[in-house]
Structure 1
Amino acid sequence: MKKKFSLLVLLVVITVLTTACSMKSAGGSTKPDDVIDIVWYPNESGSDMKSSRDEIANVIEESTGKKVEHHLTTDYAIAIETIVNNNADVAFMGAQGYIEAHKGNEAIKPLVVPTGPSGTLEDAVYHSWLAVNADAQETFKKDGEFSLDTIEGKKMSFVSGFKVPAADILNPFTQQEKYADLTEMDLMKGGSLFSKVLFGNSHQGSAVNLLKGNADVAAFCDTCVENYVEVVEGKENTVGAVYQVQDDAAEPFDQVTGKKFTLMSVTPVLNAPFVANVDVLGQEDLDKLQNVFTSGEVANNEEIFVPEDSGKSGLFFKTGKERFAAVKDSWFDPIRDLSN
């Protein structure tokens, strides 16, 4: 009994200390200092993205006179909480991640987003995919056309955040009496719509789940896998297009070189933003970063916007007039509307 009581006291003390540390982190000093901390999602934390991360750091250091420190992550939630709790100045995150971060801390503001090939925000989108293994694609067709009805009972792989693919899946199924009450939470676990649900923790990880045979269907996006795959049939970002993993693909795709997958669903999504915690970064440095990021110098920096035909890996590619553009919070309202 005494031992149990001691353990209980210990747990209470740990809980109090953890809560206190969390509160200190979230509510502590936010005075700008001489270091700019950037937190990266798992998708951009790989070694193949190092040159792009380093060049972005160089630009920030030159424009602010401050040192940049990178914080690489293996979990979306950790990246979001890092900037929400005032432990990072800048982050590169998806639109949904930004919305969650802004809801948690209103000091988090959009800095810039990469434009589309037009050099404007009109085509500033990437594409959310639902993909299946190429040799199993007929399983997912009705009358010769891909149909989401066919994913019922299958093994599904999501990334981590999955607002867009969830909306794509819920729309047709909730029209059926059997699934009228189906929710996002139901999609996260096996036994509701899917027989099993996996999470890749990154877009690359979700794709590899599919190609290794651990999942029948996987959600991931085009920009996060374009360094590793190439179109071998059809037109890129169209239903029915077949992609193949390159023979020299970097990890984690080095485990599945030569494997092919087919797109059964393609949905345009607003481009991912760089965001800043203005309380930590300071308005002066935010203005400096916005000015330099949207400059022609950065737009023409081939270490940041890598020429598409260069064969190099990168965070952003130049296929036309791509550059960074400033946006306001309201630009992300179409993603917010998915929850309404």
Structure 2
Amino acid sequence: MKKKLSFFVILVVFGLFLTACSEGSATEGAEVDDVIDIVWYPNESGEDLKSSRDAIGEVIAEATGKEIDHHLTTDYAIAIETLVNGNADLAFMGAQGYVEASNKNDAVQPLAVPTGPSGTLDDAMYHSWLAVNIDDQEDYKVDGEFSIDTIQDKKFSFVSTSSTSGFKVPSSSILEHFNEKPEYTDLVEEDLMEGGKLFSQVLFGNSHQGSAVNLLTNSADVAAFCDTCVDNYVEIEKGEENTVGAVYRVKDDAAEPFNSVTGSEFTLMSVTPVLNAPFVANVDALGQADFDKLVEKFTSDEVANNEQIFVPEDSEQSALFSKSGDERFAPVEDSWFEPIRELSK
């Protein structure tokens, strides 16, 4: 009887050990194959960015010797879950998307981040905007200055709840401001996701481009979106780029979805710096060997000087990344994203 009991205990302990080893890695043991699947957010899934996606795919194929399959999406959540579940090996996603994905599966790891003009992570940032239509700008000013107070009871457009610059950063700023007011001390992030609390109506564009178009078609009064995701479609009309009060105009030859609002103008009422978006990998699905190859390849001088990836700033070509200085990809640790995690605490 004692021998049977001892054997039973051993089985239980062994089972618990296996369970503990598998926790936090939903794709552990995933089969590494000869195809590398890359999933793209809606913002980067447009036809105008195909050349950028293909150039990056060529670099990955060269580094690994494997076939590349691009997966385009219309929803942030789909892209995130595809990577988390191991149905994609790589993704280019915002810091918030990475945080969500890595929380669900610790096999999701950052591969590289595009730097700023210095060539380092010190200025590796883009900008989250709150924008209003140019003809309505006076409605959002108090004593001649733009004021967040004025967005109360307006129709507001975010990008997606998984968007860093299109939701997480602006919602954090909005809450920080309104929580100081007696009537809004209990306002929480969930209250910004629907009308009736702070806003009269809340829309989600499902991409930065979509949120901007919500504004320009008057579906929304105020919209959150970022500079880099609309850079290919707009041009500075007045003021200095990425400053409050700057006016942007949709280019006459803008591609979809801006082709229906060409010539429209908007102005910035708020500008907030945001950590650059990383390329990330599901290491279980990709394989550690290919992960290491890609870190080395992405961060090489060869890729930094590849004008199909870092397109010269004065180029007419639509691209994911441009070069005004020493921009390149840099390796990055998970801890670099801690400021984004702090926004959810």
- TM-score norm. by structure 2 comes to 0.90
Which residue number in structure 1 is paired with residue 198 of structure 2?
193
Counterpart residue type for residue 294 of structure 1: T
Which residue number in structure 2 is paired with residue 35 of structure 1?
35
Q: Deviations over 1:38-96 (max 9, x none)?
A: 00000000000100000111111111100010010000000000000111100000000
Q: Deviations over 1:170-224 (max 9, x none)?
A: 1110000101000110000001100000000000000000000100000000000
Counterpart residue type for residue 280 of structure 1: A
Cα separation, 2, equivalents of 1:141 and 1:130? 13
- Counterpart among 309, 313, 321 of residue 308 in structure 1: 313
Which residue number in structure 2 is paired with residue 169 of structure 1?
174
Counterpart residue type for residue 149 of structure 1: D
Counterpart residue type for residue 313 of structure 2: E
Which residue number in structure 2 is paired with residue 155 of structure 1?
155
Post-superposition shift, 1:252? 0.2
- Counterpart among 320, 328, 334 of residue 339 in structure 2: 334
- The number of aligned residues is 316
Post-superposition shift, 1:160? 0.4
Cα separation, 1, equivalents of 2:64 and 2:316? 32
Which residue number in structure 2 is paired with residue 227 of structure 1?
232
In structure 1, stretches of 5+ residues that fail to align are 1-25
SS of equivalent residue, structure 1 residue 96? helix
Q: Is the 8 A contact 2:39 2:82 kept in 1?
A: yes
Cα separation, 2, equivalents of 1:116 and 1:207? 24
Counterpart residue type for residue 37 of structure 1: D
Give the direction of change, closer, same or farther, for the CA distance of 1:204–1:99 in structure 2 (3 Å limit): same
Which residue number in structure 2 is paired with residue 20 of structure 1?
none
Which residue number in structure 2 is paired with residue 291 of structure 1?
296
Q: Is the 8 A contact 2:28 2:284 kept in 1?
A: no
Matched, 1:320 2:331: no
Counterpart residue type for residue 306 of structure 1: V
Which residue number in structure 2 is paired with residue 183 of structure 1?
188
Which residue number in structure 2 is paired with residue 114 of structure 1?
114
Q: Which runs of 4+ in 1 moved over 6 A?
A: none
Which residue number in structure 2 is paired with residue 248 of structure 1?
253
Question: What percentage of aligned pairs have identical amino acids?
Answer: 72
Cα separation, 2, equivalents of 1:89 and 1:129? 31
Counterpart residue type for residue 109 of structure 1: Q
In structure 2, stretches of 5+ residues that fail to align are 1-25, 162-166
Cα separation, 2, equivalents of 1:264 and 1:28? 46
Q: Is the 8 A contact 2:117 2:324 kept in 1?
A: yes
Q: Is the 8 A contact 2:27 2:285 kept in 1?
A: no
Post-superposition shift, 1:27? 5.0
Which residue number in structure 1 is paired with residue 242 of structure 2?
237
SS of equivalent residue, structure 1 residue 50? helix
Give the direction of change, closer, same or farther, for the CA distance of 1:28–1:328 in structure 2 (3 Å limit): closer
- TM-score norm. by structure 1 comes to 0.92
